[in-house]
Structure 1
Amino acid sequence: MTRALAMISGGLDSILAAKLVKNQGVEVIGICFKSYFFGPENAKRMCAQIDIPLEVVDFSKEHFEMVKKPKHGHGKNMNPCIDCHAMMMKYSGELLKKFNADFIITGEVLNQRPMSQNRSALDIVKKESGFSDKILRPLCAKNLKPTDMEISGLIDREKLLNITGRGRQVQMKLADEWGIKDYPSPAGGCKLTEPNYSLRLRDLVDHQEIIDASELDMLKLGRHFRNSEKCKIIVARTGEESELMKKYLNEEDILFIPTNYTGALVIVRGDYEEDDLILAARIAARYSKGREMDEVEVKYGKNNTAFTKKLIVVPAKDKELEKIMINLK
């Protein structure tokens, strides 16, 4: 029996591509990739809707190294889509032998994304994957040259599609016909496509050589300020966020809390100077119930230690903070 590995992103296109091939009597196994920037949750949900098994591949460390300096550059944000797709195809190709599979399915659609899914980009991805003769793009196959799988009869080309462009009408109609009701929006899934997250990640990569997973998770939370080259200040926006951030603290983090007012958790991370500590205290005062006071006492200390040190400061002003916030202007 013919068997294929379907690269499942968790979006609609990839699951439609898998279903289209499954409908030809091919046994389909889903392959999903887990990194610091996207996970398998949507893919699990999508595979359940068309009743195919899913293999999750964690390539976080190698993927992050590629994200820092992708051969073909980043997209609008920190998303290196061409290099990312090629890396996924390479991993999928290496799994063909393990699963005794004949080829790889992807949900790419010609010209759906102007930078990463034009004809040239699709060709680059195929070539750099190392498995160019094993890749089938069922949703737009009729817009491309026939693959070895079609020529040899493993797949009936006439039953494949010729979708092109950014429209979603054909895909949504197919989803309705096949009973696929629960699927995410096209923009969701990857943190690297989010402008604010990308700004924070770029700042972190530019200022720090060694970065661990907890620091990448911390980028998803709070307000981030860059006051100096080696030091960053992070502020929780809500009490719930404060609790989430505590999971990602390290022993060297300095924490700030107003003594007499409720307020947000403030963290100083990195090689700090006295000016950084004073600013962090002023930020803690700003994001507290004492923000309108002339002076606020703020206690601070290293994570998991008693806060024995104190500063009396003037709460920071919003215009002052706008200049150092790592955020969209």
Structure 2
Amino acid sequence: MKRKALALLSGGLDSTLAVKVMLEQGIEVEALNFTSPFCTCTGKNAGCKSEAIRVAEEFGIPIKVMNKGVDYLEVVRKPKHGYGKGMNPCIDCRIFLLRKAKEYMTESGADFVITGEVLGQRPMSQRRHTLDIIERESGLAGRLLRPLSAKHFEPTLPEQEGWVDREKLLAIQGRSRKEQMQLAEDLDVKNYPCPAGGCLLTEVSFVSKVRDVFDHSDQLNLRDFRLLKVARHFRVGPRTKALIGRNEAENELLSRNIQPGEATLRWIDGSSPLGVLMGVVDDALLETSAKILLRYTRAEPGAECRVNVVIDDNERIIAVPNEFSDPSIEGYRV
């Protein structure tokens, strides 16, 4: 009977190699890829999802793409095992993904799960102790196989039952990628991306934006976190944020993400970025946001300026003075 593995596939070198090692042993593989609002990929660098799909297509295996969802935001807000150097809950994140994989195993018909984890490669989530915690708390004890470092661990059920030949698994350890690159050459794996961090939660400069959303939200919304990667952000009220586009692509993205009751703003008498008021909207907040918007136009300092405001299908013009200096708007910047 042919056995099936469910692979967590990011599209990076390690997870790609883990899949290839299983395929070389005649194991049927289905890939599972997770998208996140905190991925460093952008429209110009669609890495993550597209790389995983490319690898799946190249290997001829099915792939399912899942969004981490609002329940993942709760993991980020209060992780059981704490954060790394930024606001990255790496251990809890890994447990979350593997629990989702375990839930999907029944639907996919998979017998076990594989990952590209390498012992000692990542300082927080890939130490022996934390790898043991991740396996135990994911509910996959015995059915979680890490092909690249398998020989550093006790044999899993797939190895014990002879579904997988342990002798053909690897004993890679540490942060160097030399062994993986040699393995890629041996297995004819090409066009893999260069190793790099892919999570904005590891970037200390990004943490303040994430905390701001958590601190000022009655209900978590994936949209609010996705938009942290674009535009200029200003906290103008406890439940209100103004976003100012930096180019036409961002203006278009912001306009597509407006929710009912929120407002768009543009200076009428010259070239203007798009301003968006997200959350609670009132006249005082509109005026403050319009003044911030004017700092990114060529409106004459001190001049009374006309700003077009659209809320749902209602359009009106408000007049506000261009009176904010750069230090003035810094007090609002997130």
Q: Does the CA contact (< 8 Å) of 1:73 and 1:80 recur in 2?
A: yes
Distance 1:57 1:242, change over 3 A: closer
Are positions 1:168 and 2:177 aligned together?
yes
Distance 1:222 1:112 in 2: 34
Q: Does the CA contact (< 8 Å) of 2:261 and 2:281 recur in 1?
A: no
Q: 1:265-280 counterparts in 2 under 5 A?
A: 265-271=274-280, 275-280=284-289
Distance 1:93 1:113 in 2: 23
Q: Look up the equivalent residue of 1:51 and give its one-letter code.
A: G
Q: Look up the equivalent residue of 2:86 and give its one-letter code.
A: N
| TM-score of the pair, normalised by structure 2 | 0.87
Moved more, 140-149 or 117-126: 140-149
Distance 2:143 2:7 in 1: 12
Alpha-carbon offset, residue 245 of structure 1: 0.7
Q: Look up the equivalent residue of 2:28 and give its one-letter code.
A: E
Counterpart among 49, 65, 77 of residue 68 in structure 1? 77
Counterpart among 322, 326, 331 of residue 314 in structure 1? 322
Q: Look up the equivalent residue of 1:250 and give its one-letter code.
A: Q
Partner of 2:10: 9
Partner of 1:179: 188
Alpha-carbon offset, residue 90 of structure 1: 1.9
Q: Look up the equivalent residue of 2:321 and give its one-letter code.
A: V
SS of match in other structure, 1:44: helix
Alpha-carbon offset, residue 275 of structure 1: 5.0
Shift >6 Å, 4+ stretches: none
Q: Look up the equivalent residue of 2:316 and give its one-letter code.
A: T
Aligned residues: 325
Are positions 1:136 and 2:137 aligned together?
no
Counterpart among 278, 302, 307 of residue 299 in structure 1? 307
Q: Look up the equivalent residue of 1:31 and give its one-letter code.
A: L
For structure 1, list consecutive stretches of 5 or more residues without a partner in the other structure: none
Q: Look up the equivalent residue of 2:85 and give its one-letter code.
A: K
Distance 1:324 1:312 in 2: 18
Q: Look up the equivalent residue of 2:320 and give its one-letter code.
A: I
For structure 2, list consecutive stretches of 5 or more residues without a partner in the other structure: 40-47
Alpha-carbon offset, residue 272 of structure 1: 5.2
Are positions 1:151 and 2:180 aligned together?
no
Query: Per-residue CA shift, 1:269-308, capped at 9, x if unaligned?
Result: 2335655333322212110122x53324032434344543
When the two chains are superposed, the root-mean-square deviation of aligned CA atoms in Å is 2.4
Query: Per-residue CA shift, 1:11-66, capped at 9, x if unaligned?
Result: 21111111112212222221222444456322111222333222334442332332
Partner of 1:246: 255
Distance 1:185 1:279, change over 3 A: farther
Q: Look up the equivalent residue of 2:264 and give its one-letter code.
A: L
Q: Look up the equivalent residue of 1:325 and give its one-letter code.
A: R
| TM-score of the pair, normalised by structure 1 | 0.88
Quick one: percent identity of the two aligned structures?
Answer: 38
Alpha-carbon offset, residue 199 of structure 1: 3.0
